[in-house]
């Protein structure tokens, strides 16, 4: 068995309380200001906002697309495949999700790397070079989030 590791304060020599990383699964970086703008925008319906959250959670690492059809997504989120298709097309028009592949008439999407990204900072910097920023009505990248300004 390996030795038990513990954190020790360099000045006092006292043991520092330690808790293991208690979150499950993989993690992603999210642009809080853009997500705030999407969720507060009147340009997106509650169902569209819900799918943005879903895309943040399911988009694979890097810029890989989610290889799922509209029917697959519909089953997972409890919507009709027509509704999912319509929402995905609107989110793609606003570049909230981006097309990263195609089979026949079906596009494969993922969340825009401007909104959420799973990978290193260097990888994200390269990823944003591959697409234009999302068009979020009312969002201004030069203005801090409303809650930060208070």
Predicted confidence (pLDDT) per residue in 48-91, tens digit: 999 999 999 999 999 999 999 999 999 999 999 999 999 999 99
Q: What is the pLDDT of residues 6-58, one digit of tens each?
A: 778 888 888 877 666 566 667 789 999 999 999 999 999 999 999 999 999 99
Characterize 37-56 residue by residue with b for buried, 16 or more Cβ atoms within 10 angstroms of its Cβ, and e for exposed. Answer: bbeebeebeeebbbbbebbb
Question: SS3 breakdown of the chain: % helix, strand, coil, rounded to 5?
Answer: 35, 15, 50
Kindly list the structural domains of the chain, giving each domain's residue range(s) and its CATH number in brackets, ordered by start: 30-128 (1.10.10.10)
Looking at the whole model, is its pTM more than 0.95? no
Give the residue carrying structure tokens 């999912």: 84
């Amino acid at each position: 068995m390996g030795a038990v590791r513990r954190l020790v304060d360099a000045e006092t020599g006292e043991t520092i309380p330690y808790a293991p990383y208690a979150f499950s699964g993989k993690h992603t970086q999210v642009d809080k200001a853009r997500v705030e703008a999407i969720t507060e925008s009147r340009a997106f319906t509650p169902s569209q906002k819900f799918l943005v959250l879903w895309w943040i959670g399911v988009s694979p690492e890097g810029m890989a697309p989610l290889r799922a059809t509209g029917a697959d997504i519909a089953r997972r989120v409890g919507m009709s495949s027509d509704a999912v298709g319509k929402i995905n097309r609107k989110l793609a028009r606003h570049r909230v999700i981006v097309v990263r592949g195609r089979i026949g008439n079906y596009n494969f999407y993922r969340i825009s790397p401007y909104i959420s990204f799973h990978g290193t900072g260097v990888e994200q910097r390269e990823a944003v070079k591959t697409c234009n920023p999302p068009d979020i009505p009312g969002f201004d990248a030069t203005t801090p989030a409303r809650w930060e300004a208070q």
